[in-house]
Structure 1
């Protein structure tokens, strides 16, 4: 039986913020790193070494006080996967896309709704649900990200502990994907 496990580790966020100090709207470019762990029964060490270990993608967040939109950059569509060039001679090939530019997460903080736009087998689906209110805990840790003083918050869910860095000087509750509802823009996860 084949087991394929894709593990998303902490999202490493390198960013360029085009928002002024104390701005309530802007755009952030995030660099999202997805760690990949693939296990297939009977796979040789050589095959394992040829498999990609991670995938880096650029993501864009557009935000204001009331809403945000988080989406793939169009640059991801044709980006190669490091180590994902296939298994020469074995007839096996591993392909991993960079995510459709059509996929996005829209959050409306006023109406407390989340709409995900997913591309599945060339069809676009909209998934609407209530915006989850997470129970973030402040750790007291501080650091600077791109000249913005940031504070750390943690969230414990069923599987993981998530650490997020947010900038109170950018007073919006937005962030990458579902990492929101903090008293400042999330600049790192």
Structure 2
């Protein structure tokens, strides 16, 4: 009986040598992944659109193509991610879109464990390092599902303050809302309503990380598709544990500032430019 037991143990040991990982000599590789997203936004011309011909609209569409259609890369591990745009040449001039760059999203680092955001922003030649907390998102989990590539995805929705999704951009309407005094029926000043954006996300539990593109995070799986306002981001490619190790580190150059401070800096600069332009005309 003992000889049979010893023979069984010996056979199991030989099998282990050939089929079990060598934990003593091969370090465990850190889990990493890369997701490629295509971004598309609808062109909104507002009041000016009604005065433009179809030819003018097509010309404007071509001119703004680099702002309306972009490609982003998300590198991630279990707790950290870096999200950045692939830079393209302007379709008309063959140069980079320097004006649009002032109001586009810079390299973004998120740490979902520490609920921390670090984002590199360049504004008119000055480098800023925005450090803040991640915007908490109250996701409502849905039952709908669909296939995106080879991954089964599930739907989640949320309503997020628009300012939290666009803090690195600028619009005169946002500035007016921030400075105007709103009064109730009795004439007493009240806080202006907070503009909200409805968001629809599709995430896959097959990649169990809480990451997503841009400001989005906090679901029990990688977010592969986001629809928010007039924009859509869709994941077109995923590579898990690539051969070459990915660089997933926070940017570290620039003047440290918060999101609110950065927004105030943009607004101040744009007001200065408008006032200076007005003085030159007078």
Please say whether Structure 1 and Structure 2 have the same fold, judged by a TM-score greater than 0.5.
Answer: yes
Structure 1 residues 105 and 42: CA distance shift in structure 2, 3 A: closer
CA distance in 2, matches of 1:43, 1:65: 49
Name the residue aligned to 2:60: 51
Q: Choose which of 30, 47, 64 in structure 1 pairs with 2:77.
A: 64
Distance verdict in 2 for CA 1:69–1:161, change over 3 Å: same
Q: Are 1:181 and 2:230 counterparts?
A: no
Corresponding position of 1:164: 201
Q: Which residue of structure 1 lines up, in the alignment, with residue 91 of structure 2?
A: 80
Superposition map of 1:1-189 within 5 A: 24-39=31-46, 44-46=51-53, 47-52=56-61, 55-74=68-87, 76=88, 78-80=89-91, 99=101, 103-157=106-160, 158-189=195-226
Larger Rg: 2
Structure 1 residue 25, shift from structure 2 partner: 2.1
**How far off its partner does 1:36 sit?**
2.3
Q: How far, CA to CA, are the matches of 1:43 and 1:154 in structure 2?
A: 33
Q: Which runs of 5+ in 1 are unaligned?
A: 1-22, 86-94
Select the structure that is richer in strand: 1
How far is the alpha carbon of 1:96 from its aligned partner?
7.8
Contact map agreement 2:74 2:81 (CA 8 A) in 1 = yes
- Tell me whether 164-173 or 48-57 shows the greater mean CA deviation: 48-57
Structure 1 distance, partners of 2:222, 2:49, is 45
Query: What is the TM-score normalised by the length of structure 1?
Result: 0.70
Counterparts of 2:132 and 2:48, CA distance in 1 = 37
SS in 2 for 1:160: strand
**TM-score, scaled relative to structure 2:** 0.49
Name the structure with the higher helix share.
2
Q: SS of the residue aligned with 2:110?
A: strand
Shift of 1:97: 6.0
Superposed CA RMSD in Å reads 2.8
Q: CA deviation at 1:104?
A: 1.3
Q: Contact between 1:60 and 1:73, CA under 8 Å: does it hold in 2?
A: yes
Greater relative CO (CA pairs within 8 A, separation 6+) = 2
Secondary structure at the counterpart of residue 196 of structure 2: coil
**Equivalent-residue separation in structure 1 for 2:139 and 2:149 (angstroms):** 23
Aligned mates of 1:122, 1:102 — CA distance in 2? 15
Q: Is the 8 A contact 1:70 1:177 kept in 2?
A: yes
Report if aligned partners of 1:24, 1:171 keep a CA contact under 8 Å in 2. no
Q: How far did residue 24 of structure 1 move?
A: 4.6
Aligned residues: 153
